[in-house]
Amino acid sequence: MRDFNETLKNRVIFYFAVVFILFIILVLRLFWIQVINSAEYEHKALSQRVKEFVVDSERGIIYDNTGRKLAVSLPAKTVVALPDNVINPEKTASELAELLEISYSTIYRRITSDAAAIFLQRKIDNNLYQKINAKEIKGITFTEESKRYYPEGKLASHIIGFTGIDNNGLNGLELSYNNHLRGKAGKMIVEKDAEGETIPNGIRETVPGRDGYNVYLTIDEVIQYMAEKELKNAEDKFDFSGGSIIVMDSSNGDILAMANTPAFDPNQFGNYPEKNWRNRAINDVFEPGSTFKIITAASALEEGVITENDILTDPGHIYVGSEEISCWSRYGHGKQSFAEVVKNSCNPGFVEVGLKMDKEIFYSYIKAFGFGEQTGIRLPAEARGIIPEYDRIGSVELATFSFGHGLSVTPIQLATAISSVANGGKLMRPRLVKKVDTGNRSKNIINEPQVVRQVISKSTADKTKELLKQVVESGTGTQAAIEGYEIGGKTGTAKHYNEDVYDSSFIGIVSTDTRDLVVLTILYDIQGETYYGSQTAAPVFRNLTSNILNYLNIKPDTNHKKGYEINNQELEVPDVKGKSFLNAESDLRGKGFNVKLIGDGEIVREQLPSPGIKTNYNSTVWLFADGKSKNEILLAVPDFRGMTGMEAVKLARQKGLELVLDGSGKVIGQSVYPGKRIKSSKKINLKLR
């Protein structure tokens, strides 16, 4: 009995100890939950009865410069599945697979998942919404989202870009101005009961969002449409891979149109190959060809190494080192002024001019005009162009630069550079966005016109424009002429290496009473017999510009001023050797000559041409100081054949060359081949008969 009582007692003590330990554990657990970790459990409890909903913001509208809407946001339905409410997953998946064009297995997997709700397809069109809604499928509902819509379809698609399914910008201005356009999402917090119903007097809090800002462009929808239409028309006439057109207001850098082909519809961008999305006017480079001669001419005129009246010669080619550079004219243009070199688009003439500038000077002008760097237009993936490194440029490279070969530029770089010529030498930053409207006038973001730098003087810019007018009036650009309007411009044709494929272009300056417009047209990878810029790009320019002038209500002027006309007056070069540079320059300019000073000395030791030579009014006389000699300059040898002895001597002296005549009559042979570049001290023997 005693043993039994002892056993019972031990059992009671044991069970009491167990219960006590469990009680202590329970107390500790309660202390852990209610004191130490109370915040976490409070949050969990609150999250079960408090739901947070994201309230999407409205993406900003994109307008053209007249207030026309180019990009807007519209409400769109999204198909949502509630797996717990789906009655017949097999039948539901089968019906939706056909309507949504999604595989049966994918839909079945989604509607049988553990998720409370899952998106099946976002932002469907209204027709599809009506079809699905009419079926009243159990467990399938809809939520409303905002969908980006481009009312003009393909128009300006490369500029505007597009957004993804989440309404974030993926291309164009939609991407580069995404932070301004997308706004900031808000949220709503409501309290739910155990069955998920909103408690009428429960917690309710709203955190307001912010709609995206509206963006106003410089683009004119009508001019943009005209540009795209002309590219489309060109596709029907020529065999090329694509094209670009830029219309720019040179006075402020505003881009009025930027068109590219092939195009795409940003409402359905996924239906087009990615190459169609590329904005070739910004992202791609090409050899500018003869359009770059405008840069060479403006730089040389600014440096004073040439004037429009200087005499140059073209035997059909010129030699630089061992390389022969040919003219497009098989027999050359013979003796001509620089004004005629520009009008005739003569490669040897431009080579001669380019080499008159030393490498450092010419390279600095190329950079100053903005080539080799981004323009800052603020579009995605803007290319910098390809300008060879300074140390890798020799005389041959310098020569080819002069007529636009051996370097690559973007269309926007070329249009911006030529706009500086149209704008009195001021290089403007190209502008696509005028204003970002924040809804608060004092905080609106205004993109004011911005002058990057003064590249050349106004007088040089005006002279260059006059030279370009004669190109359109009577030179290689006559296909771009429009009766009654002052238009200057330049054609360009660049052959791809080792291929019979060309990039053809025309860039024109259209002068009006209030501003000068610059219009660039480029057709890439042209094949076939018709490929010159004068045959292809120039007519596109003419048709487009004619429509633009009519749209802007700019009337023709039948009395408009003609381009540069050559002054045929000849003057005798005075002897200024031994004079100070200051006095010599004053004397020469007073007599109607241009002057180029070479060297740092104060006294003129040599001059070119020599004293007593008769040459054109306003042609250049080179003056050399101590340490510099005219023999350091290589002079291109003309083709004297067919000239009389007197004609040959006069031309040689104007060029700074010396002749030795053998015989009488006309020149039938010469000791130095035409187009070779020699020192002025080297004598040329001519055979006359």
The DSSP annotation for 107-169 comes to HHHHHTSS-S-EEEEEEE-HHHHHHHHHH--TTEEEEEEEEEE-TTTTTTHHHH-EE-TTS-E
Q: What is the number of residues in the chain?
A: 689
pLDDT of residue 646: 94
- Residue 262 in this model has a pLDDT that exceeds 50: yes
Among 12-26, 397-411, 458-472, name the one with the lowest average pLDDT: 12-26
Query: What angle is formed at CA 509 by the lines to CA 508 and CA 510, rounded to 5 degrees?
Result: 110
Query: What angle is formed at CA 562 by the lines to CA 557 and CA 564, rounded to 5 degrees?
Result: 155
Q: Does domain 53-214 have CATH number 3.90.1310.10?
A: yes
Around Cβ 370, how many Cβ atoms within 10 Å? 25
Give the whole-angstrom CA distance, residue 599 versus residue 622. 11
Strand partners of residue 147? 74
Give the whole-angstrom CA distance, residue 613 versus residue 607. 11
Q: Which of 57, 146, 244, 290 is catalytic?
A: 290
Query: Smallest Cα–Cα separation from 171: which of 79, 272, 257?
Result: 272
* Res. 330 pLDDT band, cuts 50 70 90: confident
- Residue 422 in this model has a pLDDT that exceeds 60: yes
Question: pLDDT for 503-536, tens place per residue?
Answer: 999 999 999 888 899 999 999 999 988 899 999 9
- Residue 495 in this model has a pLDDT that exceeds 80: yes
The letter for the amino acid at 342 is: V
Q: Kindly state the average pLDDT of the residues 353-361.
A: 93
* Contact by Cβ (8 Å): 248, 521: no
Q: What token pair was written down for 68?
A: 């026309």
pLDDT of residue 355: 94
Give the whole-angstrom CA distance, residue 392 versus residue 398. 10
Please report where in the chains the tokens 């269309």 appear, as a residue: 411
* Contact by Cβ (8 Å): 241, 274: no
User: How do the domains of the chain map onto residue ranges?
Assistant: 2-52, 53-214, 221-271+282-551, 570-688
Around Cβ 89, how many Cβ atoms within 10 Å? 17
Q: Is 290 a catalytic residue?
A: yes
- Architecture in CATH for domain 570-688: 2-Layer Sandwich (3.30)
* Res. 362 pLDDT band, cuts 50 70 90: very high
149: left (phi over 0), alpha (psi -120 to 50) or beta: beta
Give the whole-angstrom CA distance, residue 574 versus residue 626. 20
- Residue 51 in this model has a pLDDT that exceeds 60: no
Of all residues in the chain, the percent with pLDDT exceeding 70 is 91
How far does CA 358 lie from the centroid of its chain? 29
**For the CA atoms of 364, 291, 375, 285, what is the dihedral angle to 10 degrees?**
-110
Write the CB contacts of 619 (distance below 8 Å, at least 6 apart in sequence).
307, 309, 310, 311, 593, 594
- Residue 680 in this model has a pLDDT that exceeds 60: yes
Among 68-77, 289-298, 437-446, 677-686, name the one with the lowest average pLDDT: 437-446
Please report where in the chains the tokens 């040459």 appear, as a residue: 615
Around Cβ 172, how many Cβ atoms within 10 Å? 25
What order do you get walking across the sheet with 50-55 strand by strand? 50-55, 186-191, 204-207
Q: What token pair was written down for 665?
A: 């009559």
* Res. 394 pLDDT band, cuts 50 70 90: very high
* Contact by Cβ (8 Å): 468, 489: yes
Query: Smallest Cα–Cα separation from 266: which of 162, 407, 170?
Result: 162
What are the helix (H) ranges across 430-528? 458-474
* Res. 465 pLDDT band, cuts 50 70 90: very high
pTM: 0.86
CATH code of the region 221-271+282-551: 3.40.710.10
One-character DSSP codes across 224-279: HHHHHHHHHHHHHHSB-SEEEEEEEETTTTEEEEEEEES---GGGGGGS-GGGG--
Cis peptide bond upstream of 262, omega within 30: yes
Element containing residue 636 per DSSP (H, E): strand 634-636
Grouping H, G, I as helix, E, B as strand and the rest as coil, residue 55 is: strand
- Residue 329 in this model has a pLDDT that exceeds 50: yes
**CA dihedral over 655, 325, 239, 264, signed as positive or negative:** negative
Question: pLDDT for 615-655, tens place per residue?
Answer: 999 999 999 998 788 888 899 999 999 999 999 999 999 99
pLDDT of residue 192: 54
Grouping H, G, I as helix, E, B as strand and the rest as coil, residue 613 is: coil
Please give the residue that has the higher pLDDT: either 80 or 561.
80
Mean pLDDT of the chain: 89
pLDDT of residue 529: 87
First vs last Cα of the chain: how many Å apart?
161
Give the whole-angstrom CA distance, residue 312 versus residue 318. 12
Query: Smallest Cα–Cα separation from 520: which of 196, 342, 282, 198?
Result: 282
How far does CA 407 lie from the centroid of its chain? 16
Write the CB contacts of 483 (distance below 8 Å, at least 6 apart in sequence).
556, 558
Q: How are beta strands 620-624 and 594-598 bridged, if at all?
A: parallel
- Residue 198 in this model has a pLDDT that exceeds 50: no
pLDDT of residue 38: 65
